[in-house]
């Protein structure tokens, strides 16, 4: 549940960030609290720098912005990866209990084995139930973050290209 909440929050924030960037692109004024606006402000402040310097400054700005975009996206993937492993751990524990019951009481009473086998199957199922949607949500969030970063890089290249024409 925590993983789904984390993924939902990231997708919501990244989607709103992308919308905000697209709004900034459609306006002439620099919007505060906007990643593209921040990049444009940096370009405006450093417009008198040499072409190479401006390009480096904008690249550094994008590099400093990137962690804020990618934050917690990798955590979603980590949870999605670890969940089936925890399910597998539960499976192993359930099977150990089953074999211990067989060792102590033999195979004559299936009820003794059923509890361990049930535990093994339930934990596997829960691990997969957690992992499958989180993998999709991670892919979705990662796509948003990559789109935002490539958009900013494209705008940075456009700023530098515009300066070369002048």
Supply the mean pLDDT for the chain: 85
- What is the C-alpha R_g of the chain? 26
Query: Above 80 in pLDDT, residue 108?
Result: no
What do you get for the CA distance between the two ends of the chain, in Å? 54
**Helices 35-45 and 110-165: crossing angle, nearest 10°?**
30
Q: Is the pLDDT of residue 72 over 90?
A: no
Report the share of the chain in percent with pLDDT over 90.
Answer: 20
Length of the chain: 166
pLDDT over threshold 80, residue 116: no
Distance CA 35, CA 149 (A): 10
Token pair of 80 as six digits: 């999605």
Whole-number Å distance between alpha carbons of 60 and 139: 26
Residues 8-58: pLDDT tens digits? 999 999 999 898 888 888 877 777 778 888 888 888 888 888 888 888 899
Is it the case that residue 107 has pLDDT exceeding 80? no
Which run of H or of E encompasses 83? helix 73-105
The confidence score (pLDDT) of residue 142 equals: 93
Per-residue pLDDT at 22: 85
Q: What are the C-alpha distances in Å from 6 to residues 28, 34, 142?
A: 34, 22, 13
pLDDT confidence bin for 147, thresholds 50/70/90: very high
Model pLDDT, residue 110 = 76
What is the rounded CA–CA span in Å between residue 161 and residue 36?
17
Q: Give the angle subtended at the CA of 28 by the CAs of 32 and 51, to the nearest 5°.
A: 85
Q: pTM for this structure?
A: 0.76
Q: Torsion-angle region of residue 165: left (phi > 0), alpha (psi -120 to 50) or beta?
A: alpha
Q: What is the band of 141 on the pLDDT scale with cuts at 50, 70, 90?
A: very high
Q: Please, which pLDDT band fits residue 165 given cuts at 50, 70 and 90?
A: low
The HSE-up count of residue 125 (CA atoms within 13 Å, CB side) is 7
């Amino acid at each position: 549940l925590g993983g789904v909440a984390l993924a939902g929050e990231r997708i919501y924030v990244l989607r709103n960030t992308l919308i905000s960037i697209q709004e900034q692109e459609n306006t002439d004024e620099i919007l505060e609290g906007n990643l593209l606006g921040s990049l444009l402000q940096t370009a405006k402040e450093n417009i008198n720098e040499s072409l190479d310097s401006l390009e480096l400054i904008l690249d550094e700005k994008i590099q400093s912005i990137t962690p804020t975009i990618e934050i917690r996206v990798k955590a979603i993937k980590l949870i999605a990866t670890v969940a089936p492993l925890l399910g597998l751990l539960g499976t192993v524990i359930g099977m150990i209990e089953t074999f211990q019951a067989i060792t102590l009481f033999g195979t004559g009473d299936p009820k003794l084995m059923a509890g361990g086998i049930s535990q093994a199957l339930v934990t596997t199922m829960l691990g997969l139930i957690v992992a499958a949607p989180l993998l999709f949500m991670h892919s979705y969030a990662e796509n948003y973050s990559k789109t935002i970063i490539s958009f900013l890089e494209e705008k940075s290249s456009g700023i530098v290209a515009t300066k070369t024409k002048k």
